[in-house]
Amino acid sequence: MRRVVFNQKGGVGKSTITCNLAAISADKGKRTLVVDLDPQGNSTQYLLGPLADQLEATVADFFDQTLSFHLNARQTADFVVGTQFRRLSVLPANHQLEDLTGKLETRYKIYKLREALDELADNFDQIFIDTPPALNFFTRSALIAADACLIPFDCDQFSRHALYALIANVEEIRADHNAGLTVEGIVVNQFQSRASLPQKVVQELIEEGLPVLDPYLSSSVKIKESHEQAKPMIHLDPRHKLTLEFIELYDKLDAGKK
């Protein structure tokens, strides 16, 4: 199963959701890979901590390799890095991704990620793909390579107004490049249950027929500690309310694909 976590708006929790669902997947016994396609490398930093600055090969090197013929080209698995968490690996990002965009688009390498993940199909049970906050080459590559799309939503009116355009973009990718792609649902993030505006906005989404997933992920300062210590919530505080929400969300997603 390959899931892409995508929203064109920054700061909605893409990396947080990606890494925490992936960590739960691995903790439940599944061989799990996170693919970090964001030049900022937040998922890479989250899962590897200080080791993220010592990497010899990243997903940028993988894409750069596709631009020219190599007699002894490295296999996709050569770019995958293990984390300190059992069964959890990452295909790490690098800021050089941004510099490669134009060349990759010109050479039409849009299917290379899908081919790479096909190559890894026997190595991993679950793959989660983190994307940049833009509908660029890397996001399109991820949507073409994925089975399902999760859309983080941070209870903001600007995010709500952008949702229909975002879903339309995903549907266009499905129609043109990936007939099996589905919008698995909208993940409500940073939800404040005692505030009236978030409740109102989320209820409007439901009434509009959008696929809002339950449970909603609570707003918590604990997540900042999780980022700082490079430990997803399942490893930092397994009994925390937010951890239990992530687990419930993962279980519902996993059950829905069986």
Measured between alpha carbons, how far is 11 from 156 in angstroms, rounded to an integer?
11
* Domains of the chain by residue range: 2-256
pTM, entire model: 0.96
- Adjacent-strand bridge partners of 191: 218
AA letter at 119: E
The pLDDT tens digits for 126-139 are 999 999 999 999 99
- Class (C level, CATH) for 2-256: alpha beta
CA-closest candidate to residue 85, choices 258, 236, 251: 236
Distance in angstroms (rounded) separating the CA atoms of residues 240 and 213: 20
pLDDT > 90? residue 155? no
- What integer pLDDT is reported at residue 65 of this predicted model? 95
Averaged pLDDT of the chain: 94
What CA–CA distance (Å, rounded) separates 118 from 128? Answer: 14
The yes-or-no verdict on residue 193 having pLDDT over 90 is no
In terms of average pLDDT, the best of 64-68, 72-76, 82-86 is 82-86
Residue 258 pLDDT greater than 70, yes or no: no
The conformation of residue 206, written as its DSSP 8-state character, comes to H
Q: Are 96 and 56 in contact (CB under 8 A)?
A: no
